[in-house]
Amino acid sequence: MKKHVVRIGVILVASVLLAFLLEFVQIRTQPPVYEAEERVVSEAETLDFARAELTNAVQDGENIKTGGDGTVILFRFQPAKTLSYVAIESKKHVRSEFQIRISWSRDGETFSDADSTEILANPQTVVWKAEIPEGQYASLKIELDNKLTIRPIRCRDAVTEKVPAPESLRLWRVGILIPSLFFVISVLYWFRAGRRLAAAFRRAAASLKKAGWKIPLRILVFLALSFLAYAALRWVISGAFFGPVDIPRRLFCVLAGLAAGLLLAFPKTLGEKPERLFVFFCLLSGWMLVFLFPNDPFVNWDMEYHFEQTHLYSYLGEERLTLPDTDIVYLENSHDSFNWDERIRSQETQDILYAEGASVVGYKGLMLNSIYDIFPAAGMFLGRVFQLPWRWTLYLSKFFNLLTCALCGFFAIRRLKSGKMILACVLLIPTNIFLASVFSYDHGVTSFMALGMSYFFAEWQEPEKKLTRRNAFVILGCLTFACLTKAFYAPALLFTLFMPKGKWAEIPAERREYLSRKTYALFTCLALLVCLLPYILPMFQGNVVTDMRGGSSAEPMDQVRYILEDPLRFFRLLFSFQSGYLNPANSSGLLTFFAYEGQGPGWQALCVILVLIALTDKKPCDRPLEKKFLTRIMGLFLLYISVCVICFCLYITYTQQKQGTDVILGVQPRYLLPFVFPVLMLFGSGLAAKLLKIDRDWKQRIYNGLAFLGPLVILFNVIYTVCISKFT
């Protein structure tokens, strides 16, 4: 007991110290807010009338009164004076326009037409400015033919600087950080993350030492194969061996070549640890979209909303928008295009505007159903910490999105005893990689749901082992995290109740380490409640959660009343809509769709590949679940219920609709992405796997290589077609 108290105390102290440290770093690195008035560093410099040689003019205090025709004001500078312009200011508006001739001399005596200029003094203003080639001059002569009173002549403007507003610690932000950090550190300690990471490094070091000379040889083979693939791709794109290509196409050839090298050069890793190669494939393909896909709300679904939520999470609720940020949030300007030179110029301009500081500041709060944006927000925070330009801060933020998807896939694939390639190919679906590479949280639902479901299916693959507390935490925690963003996936939580009987703790001695069925059911109900909280709480406040993308013309309760008037009419509409929505022939929007940039090729082939992998990526450990036909049917039924919930919610809340409409709008094909992995796992029977007989390591390597090859070719082809080929 005493040890637990000490551990809790240490974690609490560490959380407090880390919270204040993060707040201090936040204050020091965030874009500053400037005071309205600027501070004068040096006053404006004027020419001394007392030393001027006047012709047909007299000095009147600080001013000079000219006498009309033939007025000359001559300044001699000893030593020579640096000049770049002269600003002449009249005390009053003149009645008519006239010419002012200004001449300058380096030796103080010689004036020429080449070293002179004329400006037109017009009645509309009282200040007339003449530009002078910057340099050292010994004299300056001003000639005019008019009567007026001239104020002191400026030769250098006042130098001012912006004054940053004083910043103070946001204690409310520290209050959010302390319990959040306490929870994260406690979970990491519970999972022994430090020990496992250290053990992984020791194993890696031992493997490198054991491999010896094979490692450099393998790297050379990898680089050679990557170079050959790069050269081949460049030849295909340019039509000539090492023909000229622009930067986007060159980057595509490099990254696609590296992916090909990885696939061919590491057969042992491919067969035994495909999750490692998956991480590289995910990052290589996604980085192209992170770097090249425009940061433009007009080419990406709801980018302005996701960007704003990411921005708010990076400040934990404080809104602090710079001018480039406001362009995205308020849909004011387009930042990028598919013209490379225009994009570079635009980004350089945005970097300059970003350096000018924040223009909108205030507290806006956080939305729980946007909690996934905490991951790209971490990248945005680090971009500010390292003082990166605005564009690279956005790249880092989107890269953290992609990295989260890759890490979820890594741990999910590693946990499975069978079905590794099913999950790897699902996560490499082009639409999912696209969503992971832009400001979006749809892929977060897919990634965390895949992680939770992989741990669930792994329990069926090990029916003799009890359900540990840690595994139960991963299952419920990941599914809850996924459903917080979109609660209509919550029925998937109920499917996890269907586990083998031997999983549950039956006697008190087992319950210290394992869970009983009742305890797990209780935690499942709590998880469901947490998922629904973001939608239940507004109802108690008199608000109904709606989808505001279509406006605010419809009332959800009116739609509900319309359904209750004739439920059969709604079910006919629902089944009619789903007959097209769930039709595999219409899956292009699910598999190869890149938002407003359109659909890519190869979705039909990808459908066939996914079905073949689902039928063949089976092992004897899948038999316990295969035998439970009713359990599989129940799982598919609960997933179908989730689809029905999606359709129902969008029917009543997509506010573009009118009451009583006979269509269901707003249901996007991408909403089905989280279902693909569990459906394929439940769909396969293992009969085709028996025919293949993958019972040797070399067979597993070939199988995994072919399973990766098809989706990767389609993925890179879609990226090139929908994104890279549009660059000019």
Q: Give the position of tokens 């029917």.
A: 651
How many angstroms separate the CA atoms of 363 and 361, rounded?
7
Residue 687's pLDDT is: 66
- Structure confidence by residue, pLDDT tens digits, 275-292: 999 999 999 999 999 999
Q: What architecture is domain 44-157?
A: Sandwich (2.60)
Q: Is the pLDDT confidence value at 551 over 60?
A: no
Three-state secondary structure call for residue 371? helix
> By C-alpha distance, which of 319, 349, 355 is closest to 162?
355
Q: How many CB atoms lie within 10 A of CB 149?
A: 14
Please, which pLDDT band fits residue 547 given cuts at 50, 70 and 90? low
Q: Residue 696 burial by CB count (10 A; 0-12/13-18/19+): exposed, middle or buried?
A: exposed
Lowest mean pLDDT among 69-73, 154-158, 388-392: 154-158
* Residue 500 structure tokens: 């083998």
Q: Is the pLDDT confidence value at 625 over 60?
A: yes
Three-state secondary structure call for residue 331? coil
- Structure confidence by residue, pLDDT tens digits, 89-148: 998 988 889 999 999 998 888 888 888 999 999 888 999 888 888 888 999 999 998 889
Residue 7, C-beta contacts closer than 8 angstroms, at least 6 positions apart: 189
Question: In this prediction, what percent of the chain has a pLDDT beyond 90?
Answer: 46
Q: Is the pLDDT confidence value at 444 over 60?
A: yes
- Structure confidence by residue, pLDDT tens digits, 241-264: 777 888 999 999 999 999 999 999
Q: Is the pLDDT confidence value at 335 over 70?
A: no
Question: What is the average pLDDT across 393-410?
Answer: 96
Residue 540's pLDDT is: 56
With beta carbons less than 8 A apart as the criterion, state whether 294 and 434 touch. no
Secondary structure, 3-state, 26-94: HHHHCCCCECCCCEEEECCEECCHHHCEEECEEEECCEEEECEEEEEEEEEEEEEEEEEEEEEEECCCC
Give the residue, 552 or 673, on which the prediction is more confident: 673
Domain with CATH 2.60.120.260 in the chain: 44-157
Please, which pLDDT band fits residue 515 given cuts at 50, 70 and 90? confident
Please report the DSSP string for 451-512 in residue order.
Answer: HHHHHHHHHHH-TTS--BHHHHHHHHHHHHHHHHH-GGGTHHHHHTT---GGGS--STTGGG
* Amino acid present at 561: R
How many angstroms separate the CA atoms of 701 and 694, rounded?
10
Phi, psi of 320 (to 5 degrees): -145, 80
Which residues lie across from 34 on neighbouring strands? 164
Q: Give the position of tokens 């409640």.
A: 529
Residue 488's pLDDT is: 85
Please, which pLDDT band fits residue 50 given cuts at 50, 70 and 90? confident
> Cis before residue 79, ω within 30 degrees of 0?
yes
Q: Cα-Cα-Cα-Cα dihedral of 12, 14, 20, 24, to 10°?
A: -160
How many angstroms separate the CA atoms of 603 and 332, rounded?
35
Residue 655's pLDDT is: 42
- Structure confidence by residue, pLDDT tens digits, 567-612: 888 888 889 889 889 998 888 889 999 988 889 999 999 999 999 9
Q: First and final CA of the chain: distance in angstroms?
A: 67
Residue 388, C-beta contacts closer than 8 angstroms, at least 6 positions apart: 396
Residue 176, C-beta contacts closer than 8 angstroms, at least 6 positions apart: 316, 317
Extended strands (E) in 581-676: none
Q: What is the pTM for the complete model shown?
A: 0.86
If you average pLDDT over every residue of the chain, what do you get? 88
Residue 244's pLDDT is: 80
Residue 254's pLDDT is: 95
